[in-house]
Amino acid sequence: MKPTALLAMYVGAWLVASSVAYWLCKRRVCRPPLLLYPAVVGIRVRRVATPRPGRAALALNVLCISLLVLSAALFYAVAGFSLWSRITGAPALGAFVPIVPGVTISFELFLYVLPGISTAIVIHELMHALVARLNGVRVRGFGLAAVAGLLPVAFVEVDDRELLRLPRLRRLAVYSAGVAGNALLAVAVMLVLTAMPSGVVIVDVAEGSPAHEAGLRPGMIVREVNGRPITSVVDLKSALANTTEAAFTLRYGDETVVVVVERGSAARYGIVVAEVPLPLVAALGPQAGLSAAVILGFVRDVNAAVAAVNAAPIFITDGARVLAEFVPARAAVAVSALTLALLLAALTL
């Protein structure tokens, strides 16, 4: 059965089960300690203790505000260069791509993106709650929920009157906390992925292909081809270009082997490779290691994008709340409208 069919069955079962549970609760047949609505199931935590502000809160406040400013600068840089590249044809610094399953990405790839979306939403709201607590604002509660069993939702309930009575620096820190959480997570995952040594790993071998007949198997790490060191997929493509025979030096488990593959008249050698962090391959195997690397990459990219967009002043974002502290309402609306227009113009579909 195709993954999309399994996904449709799972979502359908979730909708039926959550709707039945909601109906039972409305009829007072049962009262579970959960948030229950059709398609939505979650949990709410109330009465979160509030510590007294200290030096740790001051340091965290400065960090949060600084990260929001840097994230806003990243947003304008990426959006500006993306728009400029469209006008002039110059290389873009990056791009904002909306996540629309079946349109901008496949449904299968969307499943790999979901952990990134989930962590971005949860860390964003939890950081708002944490910084609010550290600055003496009562957090009446926070909660987590799942829509259709897939899309996560998180929320924080703070005492708005206490928040508005805070000094401006502390209030700005609470507004900036969600962006800071996303930025910190993106940087942390980036550092982890960068710190892990990577290699070119064979993740699949076409049955009956020259590589399969010669003995190449998934999980083998390509070290050299025809005496040329291989550290990236680009190196491998260059080494195999215009060749009909290749001597692969491979690492497989604890052994190093040399396998000669004769392509002959075949169009391709018949291997699928990817650059994968080697610790993930050692711990999970080639396929699962590749999947884990892809998921971690999306966690990094989605959190970075969420931080940048939320730091930009666009009506309901955290950046808009920060901007409203410094400029009149009409000016804030004008800046939000211009920033939204820049984002829409820079989107890549």
pLDDT in tens, 182-238: 999 999 999 999 999 988 999 888 888 899 999 998 888 999 999 999 988 999 999
**Residue 71 counted as domain residue:** yes
* Mean pLDDT confidence for 68-78: 95
Q: Are both 265 and 326 inside the same structural domain? A: no
Neighbour-count burial of 58, counting CB atoms closer than 10 A to its CB (0-12 exposed, 13-18 middle, 19+ buried) = middle
The three-state secondary structure class of 336 is helix
Q: How far lies 168's CA from each of 66, 70, 172, 336, in Å?
A: 15, 19, 6, 21
Q: Are both 76 and 216 inside the same structural domain? A: no
The answer for residues whose C-beta is within 8 angstroms of residue 4's C-beta and 6 or more apart is: 107, 108
Q: Are both 283 and 213 inside the same structural domain? A: yes
The pTM score is 0.84
Q: Are 280 and 201 in contact (CB under 8 A)?
A: no
Q: Are both 124 and 105 inside the same structural domain? A: yes
Q: How far lies 202's CA from each of 183, 263, 273, 277, in Å?
A: 33, 17, 4, 13
**Residue 219 counted as domain residue:** yes
Q: Are 44 and 143 in contact (CB under 8 A)?
A: yes
pLDDT greater at residue 260 or residue 144: 260
**Residue 130 counted as domain residue:** yes
Checking DSSP bridges between strand 228-229 and strand 245-252, what pairing results, if any? unpaired
pLDDT of residue 103: 80
Q: Are both 190 and 202 inside the same structural domain? A: no
Place of tokens 């469209």: 86
pLDDT band, residue 49 (cuts 50/70/90): low
**Residue 307 counted as domain residue:** no
Token couple for 12: 């359908």
Q: Are both 222 and 331 inside the same structural domain? A: no
Q: Are both 262 and 329 inside the same structural domain? A: no
Whether the predicted pLDDT of 29 surpasses 70: no
Q: Are both 212 and 77 inside the same structural domain? A: no
Q: Are both 70 and 125 inside the same structural domain? A: yes
Q: How far lies 284's CA from each of 44, 113, 279, 281, 290, in Å?
A: 35, 19, 8, 5, 9
**Residue 46 counted as domain residue:** no
Domain count for the chain = 3
Query: What type of residue is 127?
Result: M
CA dihedral of 20, 112, 156, 331, whole degrees rounded to 10: -120
Q: What is the CATH number of the domain that holds 225?
A: 2.30.42.10
Element (H, E) at 158: strand 151-158
Q: Are 80 and 342 in contact (CB under 8 A)?
A: yes
pLDDT digits (tens, 9 = 90+) for 242-277: 888 999 999 887 788 999 999 877 778 989 888 999
**Residue 322 counted as domain residue:** yes
- In 159-252, which ranges are E strands? 198-205, 221-225, 228-229, 245-252
Q: Determine how many CB atoms are found less than 10 A away from the CB of residue 159.
A: 15
Q: Are both 63 and 122 inside the same structural domain? A: yes
pLDDT digits (tens, 9 = 90+) for 117-141: 989 998 999 999 999 989 989 888 7
Long-range contacts made by residues 94-101, C-beta under 8 angstroms, separation at least 24?
95/346, 95/348, 96/305, 96/309, 96/343, 96/346, 96/347, 96/348, 97/347, 97/348, 97/349, 98/347, 98/349
Q: Are 263 and 197 in contact (CB under 8 A)?
A: no
Q: Are both 132 and 165 inside the same structural domain? A: yes
Q: Are 211 and 261 in contact (CB under 8 A)?
A: yes
**Residue 43 counted as domain residue:** no
Q: Are both 100 and 235 inside the same structural domain? A: no
pLDDT of residue 48: 59
Token couple for 11: 């979502």
pLDDT of residue 33: 60
Checking DSSP bridges between strand 245-252 and strand 139-147, what pairing results, if any? unpaired
pLDDT of residue 107: 79
Query: Residue 143's beta-bridge partner residues?
Result: 44, 155
Cα 239–Cα 243–Cα 246 angle in degrees, nearest 5: 70
**Residue 173 counted as domain residue:** yes
Residue-number span of the structural domain to which 277 is assigned: 198-293
